[in-house]
Amino acid sequence: EAQVTQNPRYLITVTGKKLTVTCSQNMNHEYMSWYRQDPGLGLRQIYYSMNVEVTDKGDVPEGYKVSRKEKRNFPLILESPSPNQTSLYFCASRLHRDQPQHFGDGTRLSIL
Amino acid sequence: SQQGEEDPQALSIQEGENATMNCSYKTSINNLQWYRQNSGRGLVHLILIRSNEREKHSGRLRVTLDTSKKSSSLLITASRAADTASYFCATDAGNRDDKIIFGKGTRLHILP
């Protein structure tokens, strides 16, 4: 089944404790993105990747890192999480720019 | 920076009626996408319309695009309870990157 898989689905952690949210897609898609969704603000793009080893900033990249060492994986790294990064996070992928995005089920992060 | 802005923010209609949501954006685009999200779940792609297209249909969905007015509309005909969800437009800015900007969404509630 074609899908985008995020892990973990839920995480409660404390300020400053490094964490990684994994994202994997099995559709051989070139393009991948991370978004955060906050009430009243819709989805905002954090980082995107157009190919292996090619990543760039989206709208709200501060406090986040990503890597794209393989086509299928695009982890989101919070080196020193802070409470303002408490949010619902989505990973998405698409084959080409003129194709729709496929979304994962989301990761709900709470930073205390 | 938010580009897509949906209107209205919330909409309640009777089952069987048609629902229309609008999206406005600010800069030139490569394509515009509409997504549905059920209560905190992942987003599901509905329709992608390219900048050189004016109208697309998919089942009970009809999307129009007016690039001169920088606006798009999503029409859902003969609404059903299962259409209750949030609907988002997203624009691909059309540059050589993969920056995608989502609107804040329209919450649609179908009354039985």
Given CB atoms, is A39 within the 8 Å cutoff of chain B? no
Instruction: Provide the residue ranges of all domains of chain B, joining segments of one domain with +.
Output: 4-111
User: Distance (Å, rounded) from C-alpha A111 to C-alpha A81?
Assistant: 7
Name the nearest CA neighbour of A21 among A109, A82, A85, A93: A109
Q: Where are the alpha helices (DSSP H) in chain A?
A: none
**What's the average model confidence in pLDDT over A70-83?**
97
By CB neighbour count within 10 A (0-12 exposed, 13-18 middle, 19+ buried), where does B63 fall?
buried
Q: Which tens digit of pLDDT belongs to each residue from A42-51?
A: 899 999 999 9
Residue B1 has pLDDT above 70, yes or no: no
State how far the Cα of B109 lies from the Cα of B86, in Å rounded to an integer.
Answer: 9
CA distance A99 to B15: 31
Look-up of token digits 């790294």: A77
Task: Please check the confidence at residue B18 and state whether its pLDDT lies above 80.
Answer: yes
Residue A3 tokens read as: 């899908």
Q: How close A39 gets to chain B, by Cα (Å)?
A: 9
Spatial CA neighbour of B77 closest among B25, B16, B10? B16
A81 versus B95: the higher-pLDDT residue is: A81
Distance CA A9, CA A20 (A): 12
| Residues of chain A found within 8 Å of residue B58, distances taken between Cβ atoms | none
**Min CA distance, B56 vs chain A (Å)?**
14
Q: Which residues of A touch B99 (CB under 8 A)?
A: 45, 48, 58-59
Report how far residue B13's alpha carbon sits from residue A109's, in angstroms, rounded to the nearest whole number. Answer: 34
pLDDT at B60: 97
Which pLDDT belongs to residue A101?
95
Task: Find where tokens 């800069």 sit.
Answer: B27
Burial category of B3 from C-beta neighbours within 10 Å (exposed 0-12, middle 13-18, buried 19 and up): buried
The CATH number given to B4-111 is 2.60.40.10
Which of B33, B43, B103 lies closest to A90 in CB terms?
B43
Given a cut of 80, whether residue A68 has pLDDT beyond it is: yes
pLDDT (tens digit per residue) in B64-112: 999 999 999 999 999 999 999 999 999 987 677 888 999 999 999 999 9
Residue B2 in this model has a pLDDT that exceeds 60: no
Strands across the sheet with B71-76, in order? B5-7, B19-24, B71-76, B61-66, B55-58
Q: Could you tell me if A27 and A95 are in contact, meaning their C-beta atoms sit under 8 angstroms apart?
A: yes
Place B3 in a pLDDT band, splitting at 50, 70 and 90: low
Q: Does A75 touch chain B (CB under 8 A)?
A: no
How close is the nearest chain A Cα to the Cα of B9, in Å?
A: 10
Residue indicated by tokens 């990761």: A107
